[in-house]
Amino acid sequence: MVPTQARIVMLVDLDYFFAQCEELRNPALKGKPVVVGMYSGRTETSGAVSTSNYLAREFGVKSGIPLFLAQKRLEGKDAVFLPVDYDYYQQLSDKIMSLLRSFSDVLEQASIDEAYLDVTKKTEGTYEKAEAQAQEMKATVKREVGVTFSVGIAPNKLIAKIASNVHKPDGVTVVRPEQVKAFLLPLPVDAILGVGKKTVAKMSEMGIKTVGDLAKFDVQRLVEVFGKTLGVYFHNAAHGVDNDPVQEAGEAESIGRMGTLKEDSRDLDFIMEKINQQIEEVYVEFTQKSLLYRQVGITAVMTDLSAKSRSKTLEKPAKDKETIHKAAWELFEKYLGETDMEIRRVGVRVASFSKEEPQQQLLTRFFQPKP
Ligand code: TTP
Ligand code: MG
């Protein structure tokens, strides 16, 4: 019997994805350092490295560094530089995701090269079967598409994500519930999703260096410093607790808006200006339909056109603008801590709707509280 709460979650992360796609298309690249770059077009080498294969990484060439620096580091190494071909990677990604879907109870795609799979039922709740299944998934994707990936298998998304990074490329890492503490506590705090450079610095001042330090830290103080959502999230994460379900994207009907920023940015206030306009429109739409929402989500499309979505489920249904604003603000703040990339397009949405009771609708319509 599988206890109702116990889950087995996998995080599949494709290895050096854009560069691996390029190797697949042109096998002559194998054995050479391969760099996929976002060329800005200003000069021949202006722009940044999108990703590189593992050979190029040995020379210190990794995502985010300037292309001219990558060229310098790979001088005389027979390296190949290619521009991003997003459509091609997207096609391969779609094919892989549909193969992976057949191995899951539920699949949630987290980015072009990452997906969470809830495999609790498929594996009858056993880690032996999950591990065997991961090998079968690898063999299938290798055979049908030709690419490798790394997997983390764990009781929740948080641990699965961290585990997926332990053996890369082409690895499988299993963290069973009884191993979670020993796995997590010695890691540096930035192993936790959402702990970026700024948070690391702040935590370091507070004497928090490892996840173990964070786990011992008073949760009230975390809330004082980081706010309720993040403070509680950090506390739970440090204890290996994460109840976030694996959810098929777009499962719930949602109301949202997307738009392009006037310029690429990482400035939270600037981003929120755009989001606030969108919230106004979203608000009108769900109010007209007499809907209450219980989930607020954001989407960020980065300068390389990769998209990330994050959402937050509220304790109870809401129908006001401020709650959306607050949740979107928190989600963007957390998300900016996870990436160094600039954001090009942003969006906000509400979902998980319930109908406002007719009685309640009348009351709110006729007895509007005085401002
Ligand atoms: P990642 O999964 O972070 O990186 P990766 O797949 O290249 O390498 P790894 O083996 O470590 O998983 O990102 C997926 C793709 O997203 C990557 O192939 C290219 C793109 N990307 C960028 O364009 N810029 C970035 O800064 C990062 C991190 C990724
Ligand atoms: Mg990857």
Q: Which of 89, 113, 147, 301 to mutate to test the pocket of ligand 1 (most atoms within 8 A of CB)?
A: 113
Report which of 349, 325, 331 is spatially closest to residue 255, judged by C-alpha positions: 349
Does residue 265 register a pLDDT over 50?
Answer: yes
Establish whether residue 50 lines the binding site of ligand 1, counting it when its CB lies within 6 angstroms of any ligand atom: yes
Q: What is the mean pLDDT of the chain?
A: 90
Burial class of residue 205, CB neighbours in 10 A (0-12, 13-18, 19+)? exposed
Span from the CA of 206 to the centroid of ligand 1 (angstroms): 31
Establish whether residue 113 lines the binding site of ligand 1, counting it when its CB lies within 6 angstroms of any ligand atom: yes
pLDDT of res. 289: 67
User: What end-to-end distance do the CA atoms of the chain give, in Å?
Assistant: 55
Span from the CA of 191 to the centroid of ligand 1 (angstroms): 17
Among the listed residues 114, 330, 333, 356, the single catalytic one is 114
Does residue 114 register a pLDDT over 90?
Answer: yes
Band (363; pLDDT cuts 50, 70, 90): very low
pLDDT of res. 211: 98
Does residue 326 register a pLDDT over 90?
Answer: yes
Percentage of the chain modeled with pLDDT above 70: 92
Q: How far is CA 307 from CA 110, 245, 344, in A?
A: 9, 20, 10
- Give the CA dihedral 37, 38, 40, 41, nearest 10 degrees: 50
Q: Which phi-psi region, left, alpha or beta, contains residue 45 (left: φ > 0; alpha: ψ -120 to 50)?
A: alpha
Establish whether residue 13 lines the binding site of ligand 1, counting it when its CB lies within 6 angstroms of any ligand atom: yes
Closest ligand 1 atom to 15 CA: 10
Neighbours of ion ligand 2 (CB under 5 A): 13-14, 17, 113
| Mean predicted confidence (pLDDT) in 169-175 | 97
Band (197; pLDDT cuts 50, 70, 90): confident
**What are the tens digits of pLDDT across the range 136-164?**
999 999 999 999 999 999 999 999 999 99
pTM listed for this prediction: 0.71
Span from the CA of 72 to the centroid of ligand 1 (angstroms): 21
pLDDT of res. 369: 40
Establish whether residue 16 lines the binding site of ligand 1, counting it when its CB lies within 6 angstroms of any ligand atom: yes
CATH numbers and ranges of domains, the chain: 9-16+88-181 (3.30.70.270), 17-84 (3.40.1170.60), 185-238 (1.10.150.20), 254-356 (3.30.1490.100)
If you average pLDDT over each of 29-43, 114-128, 220-234, 342-356, which comes out highest? 114-128
Establish whether residue 23 lines the binding site of ligand 1, counting it when its CB lies within 6 angstroms of any ligand atom: no
Span from the CA of 113 to the centroid of ligand 1 (angstroms): 8
| Mean predicted confidence (pLDDT) in 12-27 | 98
Of residues 44 and 75, more confidence is placed in 75
Band (253; pLDDT cuts 50, 70, 90): confident
In the residue annotation, 144 being an active-site residue is answered as no
**What are the tens digits of pLDDT across the range 55-64?**
999 999 999 9
If you average pLDDT over each of 127-131, 244-248, 259-263, which comes out highest? 127-131
